[in-house]
Structure 1
């Protein structure tokens, strides 16, 4: 069976999946043995390898069950997790749409500490990353079928002693259903209140219980049409913050737009020779509006097949087997690619020359544009300030990504004695990514196509004989409709990228009771000890055009690398009294990349009364650098860079000024203009790559959680928990901020100043503006965060039905990032992505066949920047957001349930953020990780189980 557009390796794995499903069905009967009449129930608790029926975690665990999954109409794991106050979307369809390598991803982060510090497990076993090896690390939640998830356990706090690297912020463990019986079918459709963003989801699950186990199979398809920026009023026009009264403070959000326009901009003119006019009205301005073309939420199509088998082999041994395949197709659209003829094609900024004479070149001679340039004293294209153009003739630009994830996991458990058991777990996972980018231009061919001569028939041809043989056709990028279809055929360059991420994990554990108890009133000491081998591999290969920098898209190098680790770990559960127990864990790992690492955890449980239990844990946690941190060839970034040379003149003192003036292009500009003051275009066009570094070391964290659980006897059904957490990460791995790179470099002693900043900075040889600032990963920061999690749940009978009310809240006290080298601290608590208060209220009422579920979500009022100095308080202040979701369901038959729901019932609109705001996400004019982008959404569906 072949899937269109899928890679060959993905097709093979898909076929293997189907074969394995068939084998599983046969094996379930072949290995079924009569189970023991009496079995000690062992409950696996996230955060420990010790399985005990009465085990209670020393760290807080938030649990989402099936009523939570169904209550909000979630069709994707990320839809559900993003509603938990301690969880933040790390990379979503909104936040990644401007990144080709990450478009269409859905990853998740606890405590806003990043996906790479949040470990995602399925049934307690690691899951392979779905993020491009050149762009980062994180499990793509699109690849995990929600239909077979029984519950989700979210365990916060450092968990590296139990699970190894990456569990700095905590663990998200998806528990699959183990005993599905019968046939289940679900179909759901949805649409926004604007009659767009259509969604559909179809799932089929088959399962059977037999005498000693269960086998199941599930398959599904879902699609989401996504949104363009132009589909919503708040994002239809790209806006910037401007200073309207000249007092140096940005005070007004208005359209500014881009100088790269469809008809071309040459100096102060458009391609037809008329003056370029910029106004704050998009209808009258000549500037380009990005949001006519950009995606806001990437459309996706997803298919999955999954199967599981668990059975008792005999009285003393059990086995479990899971296999799944998922494929996600997404397409992200961008504005037509920008072209700067002088610098992109002829490389003036690096010492090249156009060789185009305004008076004689056919594209200028005798034209209104050429005459105006000559009247301005410009005789050569080298001397024009701007030669910008949008290549709209090349069609819509976009990134098409196909990600295929295949994973197989199995476990075998054998009872060595009645109290001690051996477990062997293994998993192999692989994610293939194939990316196609269209709408780009071959810059080498463009140079030939602009070097032209008369063809003898009243027209023009490319001057180079070989180029003509290869199909060279002249083109005119300086005017509208200046690129013929034949020229597009010659110049167009669709680029591609392919990559693979592989993960292999084998874990062997011996666990159980030691047979010793401190008294008859408590259980025996529990223990676990084991070893684990893990190997992570990744590669990413851009096509030769991208690797060679021959196209306008950012140059990307190949990524290839791997590391492995062997861990040894041990745990103890020590019941001292009925009212007190301790948990201890230690893990020692030997990494091929960074050497030896040690983690430990110490926690306690103190049920001092039937109504009150105290708990707490202190731990160290470690994140070793992943494949991307170590080996990434690079992902493009256009994040804003502040050039320390901007504003320097001959009177400015200090190392920075002296080093800036040592660059001839900057000094020449000061001599001519009085100062080196960058234009808006120059400020916004510093590109760069984020790359890995083999010298990066592990980061370490100290974590503390301390809490209490109150279950009053006087009010049956009520439970309240409050937990304080404090996390400090030292030597935090990140790509060095590109502004920091410039500041460090230019602050050096002038006698030791390197103008290329060790090869990371490229400046325009004529204007002095920074064209590229590249950043490698390093151990840059100290991150400190603390706060309180509050959970309240109440269940009771009401009016003949069952009522459930739950509150989940996070109070953020601190989130500080301190630069290790500079000592400067950013205090982020209270900024948009770090609200001081975030909570959900969930209410469910069931009366016979009827259920209603309501959820209220609150995001506190925030600031864009706590240290704001350049924007009015009105623009910097962000209002709170409240969302209401409602769902009704009714069992029309014992086997059939109908449901209908609405999310964002009151059509809460997001706060507008301009391009100058710190947290604005490209293509949204807001922030899709914090605020709802779609508006009101309706959905309806049917569930059948027989």
Structure 2
């Protein structure tokens, strides 16, 4: 209670006194400093967003600055995590969000305004850094490579800056300014642990610097070590069980009926997977279905679980949800949160060494050097080597003389293929009791009139009745197959170990030419290397062979392919020589229960897979800057200018082992990638025109303009960027500013040159299924019929109604015809620094960003809908995929189903993004008789965040504002009180309510009514506020200790969210966290 009252009082005090920080190049920490800034000192510096030196409190662009002190006070050991907590940045890939996704563990990317990490340009001292997004063939800088204790400040500039810095600066720029003249020796250490006893971290940093030659030269070095331990949902009392919303109403896509479609349940257990094996038998939809029906009369599957010893029992618990699978609440099923199944954060170890140096031979000739080496080692486990749901691998081989009906269409259409991933009833590892139970279930389900694996009805036609009879005969003969749905954790965890190394070297020279001009020329080389090893993966071809078992003449259990050549088909047309070797070495697999897989089978099935990649960047740039005061001056002062040029060359390669490229591992078949070099030559110029100053209502009026032309080798061609801005100070206390810019983002290497490779899309809703055929345009049904849909335009029972229960395989690649993205940015705002309140600074800025010709791939769902909702089938979207003919597909696809691997996915210039909002920053620094009060706040109010990504309707907007990960309002407030040598600090991070699903569910958009206001019993996730407390003690002028507690109230992600992922990651999943640190100066 006392803590709660203290936090409330502190938060109210913070809100009463301040918000955040003024957009300036330096923090103001004393009254005298603030007064000097307000009266306009003569010192001039480079402010991020310009190459023209100007007074440090004058910036025509809104700049948020994060100081090294703020990083230190946060208690975080990753500067990327500090930045991702800012309202301006959408939670992208950070400590919590990089746990899933091949090759992304341990990275930390930034995403300004939620426009995508490729549209946020990251700089170090105003220069580019090499990309680390190798696995995605993308362009994003890993913030984990930044030297935390060597950072002087971080400037975050909103709006397009391509005219100053080149491509990618569409949402804005994040510029890391390093300490340039550090002198002394400083040792900094910190360690922390969560309230749960996990998530520990350690950090040690050494910074040393020395001036020499009477201060004309300096060399500084920084070495850092940081380690963050992994932690899992199973170790958290609030996350070890699965709490989630479950669909209970049958009209989830209809308009409001005052019946909530989803209800929140705790301790939900899966009906489609388990650790020992789960079975679900489909029955016809009748009120007398043996395992019950849902609210719409659809039958639930009869669910069974294999126990560790291989015995089979009924799955227990309260059955809820919709058929056929539904869910269980409680009971003996799996929560899918056991062990290492849900990682909340990876294990990351980081080593960073930086060297900075310069020497002034003369004021006109100052050579300088920057060098960096960063090594990151990331580790994490997730799931087992493989999880099977009966048709996960989409296997299908033709077997001469045998027409398997286990997954054949109910109407009797023959596809003549066998799915070896499914279990044959005569499997010798199956106990007699389990076999009897399964036989009885299969027989009863078939007699009810449906295929027990797919639920497809046999019907009453002659072909359907014959198919039903054949299925019963195959059950009796033991040749029928059933789906075993299982996570194979007993094959060992699928561990991913990634080692990343980043090298960067900058050599240059700068200097002043007289008192009016300065220049800089530099060469910047960066290289990022990555090695990714996944241990315990499976060889999918061997898995299919080992799953399909029988006995030989001697009664020994063997792989069926070893005794029956008809089952010796290669997976996906593999190499016959490899197939023969795999069959010869095949070790049969016992899939029933847990821990029953032999070591020999494990060795046969599992394998490490490897990937190596390298990105390089070489930049030569130079500029001349200064003012024309020696020639003429305007009433406001001398005209400033900058002119320069840049050459940039980048390469990207990514090599994978042969098995991965062939698709034998349990993930995408990923081709190796080596692109042609990316080259661009650029010229740029900037001018600042001070029109007038020191007259009534015109203390200052300055116009600024800049432009850049870039010539890309390849498809982007020649592109142009420009900007204009103005700053007006009517009185000393008030600065008004505005800017407009046109920026560009050229397609990156991966966008253009990625080779076609296997990928997967979440289960789409087939627009031609009976349940969807009448939910689209007026032409959808007719187009589906024209395309060959069984049942024509009818949605009646027995017509085509396929439902995807797992992902669809597609082929993804690059596009040689891409052009550059273009953006328009507008900012309007001002800075108020009242002389009657010394130490107070308030800035308010409006921003508006529109990105056109966005490079993105249409979702498979939107392309399918666009195909059949068009006036006819003669459109670009219908050409992207193929469907199975009357005889079914080559992998057992039923008639008319979309063929696995047929959809061709590639990026296109067709989308548009819009972002508008208001940033408010307030800072207050005041020295009193009792001590120093420092307060800072940052508040972002999002007015609009829309995506226009529907390929068939370019003006159809998808509203993201207020959805998970994109709150309408978010603010941070930090308050520090220093009394003597002791500093007390408090910070609050406040996140607004966010919709449980989409904005469109509850609000009319695009002239349409709300889509589903009855989506769930909860409309929005609640407001969440995180409170941090800290204490700093200056023992003496050489030693300082700090202590802190982050997330004091132990706030957890709400309503079953894990805090992992681009949306849910906005919440903290670490819980209450304690840390202690110390800094010693020598």
TM-score (norm: length of structure 2): 0.78
Cα deviation, residue 247, structure 1 = 5.5
Distance 1:382 1:172 in 2: 63
Distance 1:294 1:767 in 2: 37
1:286 equivalent to 2:333? Answer: yes
Distance 1:512 1:890 in 2: 45
Alpha carbons 2:43, 2:56 under 8 Å: kept: no
1:816 equivalent to 2:946? Answer: yes
Kindly report which structure 2 residues correspond to 1:385-404, keeping only aligned pairs within 5 A, or say none: 386-404=483-501
Deviates more, 1:781-790 or 1:667-676: 667-676
Q: Deviations over 1:346-366 (max 9, x none)?
A: 326997424899565535695
Distance 1:157 1:553 in 2: 38
Cα gap change, 1:351/1:733 in structure 2, threshold over 3 Å: closer, same or farther?
A: farther
Larger Rg: 2
Distance 2:781 2:876 in 1: 14
What's the counterpart of residue 129 of structure 2? 127
Distance 2:547 2:805 in 1: 28
Partner SS, residue 972 of structure 2: strand
Partner SS, residue 867 of structure 1: helix
Cα deviation, residue 384, structure 1 = 4.4
Alpha carbons 1:158, 1:167 under 8 Å: kept: yes
Deviates more, 1:312-321 or 1:814-823: 814-823
Cα deviation, residue 494, structure 1 = 2.1
Q: Deviations over 1:615-648 (max 9, x none)?
A: 1111101111112222345685554533323434
What's the counterpart of residue 303 of structure 1? 351
Distance 2:686 2:136 in 1: 36
Alpha carbons 1:273, 1:372 under 8 Å: kept: no
Cα gap change, 1:321/1:874 in structure 2, threshold over 3 Å: closer, same or farther?
A: farther
Distance 1:440 1:427 in 2: 39
Partner SS, residue 92 of structure 1: coil
Match of 1:213 among 207, 210, 217: 217
Distance 1:52 1:476 in 2: 74
Distance 2:189 2:685 in 1: 46
Cα gap change, 1:378/1:494 in structure 2, threshold over 3 Å: closer, same or farther?
A: farther
Cα gap change, 1:239/1:591 in structure 2, threshold over 3 Å: closer, same or farther?
A: farther
Cα gap change, 1:231/1:169 in structure 2, threshold over 3 Å: closer, same or farther?
A: same
Match of 2:1051 among 908, 911, 919: 908
Match of 1:647 among 770, 794, 805: 770
Match of 1:574 among 655, 669, 689: 689
1:260 equivalent to 2:328? Answer: no
Cα gap change, 1:382/1:590 in structure 2, threshold over 3 Å: closer, same or farther?
A: farther
Alpha carbons 1:191, 1:937 under 8 Å: kept: yes
Alpha carbons 1:134, 1:632 under 8 Å: kept: no
Cα deviation, residue 801, structure 1 = 1.3
Q: Deviations over 1:298-338 (max 9, x none)?
A: 12111111111122122321122111111111123222221
Cα gap change, 1:104/1:468 in structure 2, threshold over 3 Å: closer, same or farther?
A: closer
Q: Deviations over 1:472-520 (max 9, x none)?
A: 2112335555532111111113222211111111101112122367657
Q: Deviations over 1:117-145 (max 9, x none)?
A: 11111111011111125353311111111
Kindly report which structure 2 residues correspond to 1:110-121, keeping only aligned pairs within 5 A, or say none: 110-121=112-123
Corresponding residue pairs, total: 898
Cα gap change, 1:251/1:223 in structure 2, threshold over 3 Å: closer, same or farther?
A: same
What's the counterpart of residue 791 of structure 1? 921
Alpha carbons 2:240, 2:337 under 8 Å: kept: no
Kindly report which structure 2 residues correspond to 1:729-744, keeping only aligned pairs within 5 A, or say none: 729-744=851-866
Q: Deviations over 1:499-557 (max 9, x none)?
A: 11111111011121223676575332111111101122212222222211122222222
Alpha carbons 2:863, 2:877 under 8 Å: kept: no
Cα gap change, 1:588/1:397 in structure 2, threshold over 3 Å: closer, same or farther?
A: same
Partner SS, residue 1068 of structure 2: coil
Alpha carbons 2:784, 2:793 under 8 Å: kept: no
1:606 equivalent to 2:606? Answer: no
Alpha carbons 2:84, 2:92 under 8 Å: kept: no
TM-score (norm: length of structure 1): 0.88
Match of 2:246 among 219, 242, 257: 242
Alpha carbons 2:263, 2:1016 under 8 Å: kept: no
Distance 1:323 1:837 in 2: 40
Partner SS, residue 935 of structure 1: coil
What's the counterpart of residue 395 of structure 2? 346
Distance 2:794 2:315 in 1: 26
Q: Deviations over 1:807-851 (max 9, x none)?
A: 211111111212364121112222232222111112122233222
Q: Deviations over 1:399-456 (max 9, x none)?
A: 2222111111232114444422331122111111111223332122234334556455
Deviates more, 1:50-59 or 1:194-203: 50-59
Q: Deviations over 1:582-604 (max 9, x none)?
A: 11100000112310100001011
1:674 equivalent to 2:674? Answer: no
Q: Deviations over 1:69-98 (max 9, x none)?
A: 222123211122123221222212333322
Alpha carbons 1:260, 1:288 under 8 Å: kept: no
1:223 equivalent to 2:217? Answer: no
Deviates more, 1:554-563 or 1:336-345: 336-345
1:891 equivalent to 2:1034? Answer: yes
Partner SS, residue 105 of structure 1: coil
Partner SS, residue 678 of structure 2: strand
Alpha carbons 1:830, 1:866 under 8 Å: kept: yes
Match of 2:741 among 619, 626, 638: 619
What's the counterpart of residue 9 of structure 2? none
Kindly report which structure 2 residues correspond to 1:478-493, keeping only aligned pairs within 5 A, or say none: 480-493=594-607
Distance 1:66 1:54 in 2: 18
Deviates more, 1:54-63 or 1:783-792: 54-63
Cα deviation, residue 224, structure 1 = 0.9
Alpha carbons 2:923, 2:936 under 8 Å: kept: yes
What's the counterpart of residue 410 of structure 1? 507
What's the counterpart of residue 589 of structure 1? 710
Cα gap change, 1:471/1:635 in structure 2, threshold over 3 Å: closer, same or farther?
A: closer
Partner SS, residue 693 of structure 1: coil
Alpha carbons 1:855, 1:884 under 8 Å: kept: yes
Partner SS, residue 45 of structure 2: coil
Alpha carbons 2:745, 2:820 under 8 Å: kept: yes
Q: Deviations over 1:852-880 (max 9, x none)?
A: 22211111112132112445454331111
Deviates more, 1:407-416 or 1:765-774: 765-774
Cα gap change, 1:146/1:560 in structure 2, threshold over 3 Å: closer, same or farther?
A: same
Cα gap change, 1:359/1:860 in structure 2, threshold over 3 Å: closer, same or farther?
A: closer
Q: Deviations over 1:190-220 (max 9, x none)?
A: 1112221111101112211112121111112
Partner SS, residue 911 of structure 2: strand
What's the counterpart of residue 711 of structure 1? 833
Cα gap change, 1:745/1:945 in structure 2, threshold over 3 Å: closer, same or farther?
A: same
Alpha carbons 1:104, 1:332 under 8 Å: kept: no
- Structure 1: gaps (5+ residues): 1-39, 915-919
Q: Deviations over 1:354-388 (max 9, x none)?
A: 48995655356953356336634272688646343
Q: Deviations over 1:742-769 (max 9, x none)?
A: 2123335655489984248898612766
Kindly report which structure 2 residues correspond to 1:836-915, keeping only aligned pairs within 5 A, or say none: 836-864=968-996, 865-868=998-1001, 869-870=1011-1012, 871-872=1014-1015, 874-912=1017-1055
**Could you say what the CA RMSD is over the residues aligned between the two structures, in angstroms?**
3.2
What's the counterpart of residue 379 of structure 1? 474
Partner SS, residue 361 of structure 2: strand
Distance 1:893 1:424 in 2: 43
Kindly report which structure 2 residues correspond to 1:499-510, keeping only aligned pairs within 5 A, or say none: 499-510=613-624
Cα gap change, 1:853/1:450 in structure 2, threshold over 3 Å: closer, same or farther?
A: closer
What's the counterpart of residue 542 of structure 2? 445
Alpha carbons 2:423, 2:484 under 8 Å: kept: no
Distance 1:238 1:761 in 2: 37
What's the counterpart of residue 720 of structure 1? 842
Q: Deviations over 1:215-241 (max 9, x none)?
A: 111112111113212222343234553
1:75 equivalent to 2:77? Answer: yes
Cα deviation, residue 803, structure 1 = 1.1
Distance 1:193 1:761 in 2: 54
Partner SS, residue 86 of structure 1: coil
